């Protein structure tokens, strides 16, 4: 099946620093990648949709200058949390799609900002 | 914007009992998908429903899509401990939002042996 990886799986950073999370589709080319945020025992909240070579589309309420998304190739998208604060601590999950509907999720990245 | 409500939030069952989770959208959907997330894991795609009134089965799992394409359900017959996890429905509005999913809150299923 289609495999999506995320790196790092866990990261702890100090308040004010930036953190980059990578999302890779390992065995397929993803036309679209999605970035979600999930709080403990809660649902997935879509942050942004990214297509290779174009600017990401952010959901309402998501600060594009804070959550920078780059989709440089059909197999790689990155999310950079800039000037992270404790309230940015969360589980960030990416997904990739290459067929019409099915999304393949990465294992997620747990970010803790101290 | 589009909202997807899912109930119940929690369900505790004895092994062998049946389980059902329900999903309702505030708007008509193009399709609805179901995902399962094991504790500590990531969501895994289970199925997609597209047609009005569609019913699909996967072994002990039965998925239904309502006639109005605004609601859906997942029913598990004779639960097993391996069914433990959070079940999410996710709706797609289609059109310019094609591919974009709005997730329900999820139902956390616990199965007691």
pLDDT (tens digit, 0 to 9) for every residue of chain B, 113 residues total?
778 999 999 999 999 999 999 999 999 999 999 999 998 888 998 999 999 999 999 999 999 999 999 999 999 999 999 999 999 999 988 765 557 889 999 999 999 99
Residue in chain B lying closest to A92 (CA) = B42
Q: What is the widest separation between alpha-carbon atoms in chain A?
A: 40
Smallest Cβ–Cβ distance between B100 and the set A43, A46, A105 belongs to A46
Q: How confident is the model at residue A98 (pLDDT cuts 50, 70, 90)?
A: confident
Question: How distant is the Cα of A44 from the closest Cα of chain B, in angstroms?
Answer: 6
Torsions phi, psi of B95, nearest 5?
65, -135
Contact A101 B48 (CB under 8 A): yes
The DSSP-derived string for A55-84 is PPEEPTT--TTTEEEEEEETTEEEEEE-S-
Q: Which residues of A touch B101 (CB under 8 A)?
A: 34, 46, 103
Whether the CB-CB separation of A24 and A5 falls below 8 Å is answered with yes
- Among candidates A43, A103, A107 on the partner chain, residue whose Cβ is nearest the Cβ of B105: A43
- According to DSSP, the β-strands at A90-97 and A32-38 are antiparallel
Encoded tokens for B111:
């199965």
Q: Is B76 left (phi over 0), alpha (psi -120 to 50) or beta?
A: beta
**Token pair of A25 as six digits:** 């589709």
Q: Given the structure tokens 């942050």, which residue do they identify?
A: A47
Length of chain A: 114
Find the closest chain B residue to A58 by CA distance.
B100
Q: Quick: pLDDT tens for A35-91.
A: 999 988 788 999 999 888 888 999 999 999 999 999 888 899 999 999 999 999 999
The alpha-carbon gap from A75 to the nearest alpha carbon of chain B, in Å, equals 17
Q: CB distance from B92 to chain A under 8 Å?
A: yes
DSSP code of residue A96: E
Give the gap in angstroms from C-alpha B113 to the nearest C-alpha of chain A: 23
Pick from B5, B21, B43, B95 the residue to mutate for testing the A interface (most A CBs within 10 Å). B43
- Chain A residues with a Cβ under 8 Å from any Cβ in chain B: 32, 34, 41-46, 49, 60, 93, 95, 97, 100-108
| B107 close to B21: Cβ distance less than 8 angstroms | yes
- Taking Cα atoms as reference points, which of B17, B6, B3 lies closest to residue B113? B17
In angstroms, the CA A52 to CA B83 distance is 36
Phi then psi for B14, rounded to 5 degrees?
A: -85, 145
For chain B, helix, strand, coil in percent to 5 are: 5, 55, 40
Instruction: Name the residue facing B43 among A32, A46, A105 (closest C-beta).
Output: A105
Best residue in B42, B85, B96 for a mutation probing chain A (most A CBs within 10 Å): B42
What are the CA-CA distances from residue B106 to residues A94, B38, B71, B96 (Å)?
18, 12, 14, 25
pLDDT for the residue numbered A44: 92
B42 in A contact zone (CB under 8 Å): yes
- Token output for B80: 């097993």
- Tell me the three state secondary structure of residue B25: strand
Tokens of B27: 């708007």
């Amino acid at each position: 099946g289609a495999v999506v990886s995320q790196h790092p799986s866990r990261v702890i950073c100090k308040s004010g620093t930036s953190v980059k999370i990578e999302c890779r589709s390992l065995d397929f080319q993803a036309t679209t990648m999605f970035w979600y945020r999930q709080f403990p025992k809660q649902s997935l909240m879509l942050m942004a949709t990214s297509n290779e070579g174009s600017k990401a589309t952010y959901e309402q309420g998501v600060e594009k200058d804070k959550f920078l998304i780059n989709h440089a190739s059909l197999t790689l998208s990155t999310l950079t949390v800039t000037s992270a604060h404790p309230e940015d601590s969360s589980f960030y999950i990416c997904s990739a799609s290459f067929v019409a509907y099915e999304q393949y999720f990465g294992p997620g990245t747990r970010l803790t900002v101290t | 914007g589009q909202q997807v409500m899912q109930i119940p939030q929690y369900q505790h069952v004895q092994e062998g009992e049946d389980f059902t989770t329900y999903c309702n959208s505030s708007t008509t959907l193009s399709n609805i998908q179901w995902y399962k997330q094991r504790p500590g894991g990531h969501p895994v795609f289970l199925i997609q429903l597209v047609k009005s009134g569609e019913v699909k089965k996967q072994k002990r799992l039965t998925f239904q899509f309502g006639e109005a394409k605004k609601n859906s359900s997942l029913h598990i017959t004779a639960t097993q401990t391996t069914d433990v996890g959070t079940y999410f429905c996710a709706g797609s509005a289609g059109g310019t939002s094609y591919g974009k999913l709005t997730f329900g809150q999820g139902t956390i299923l616990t199965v007691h042996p």
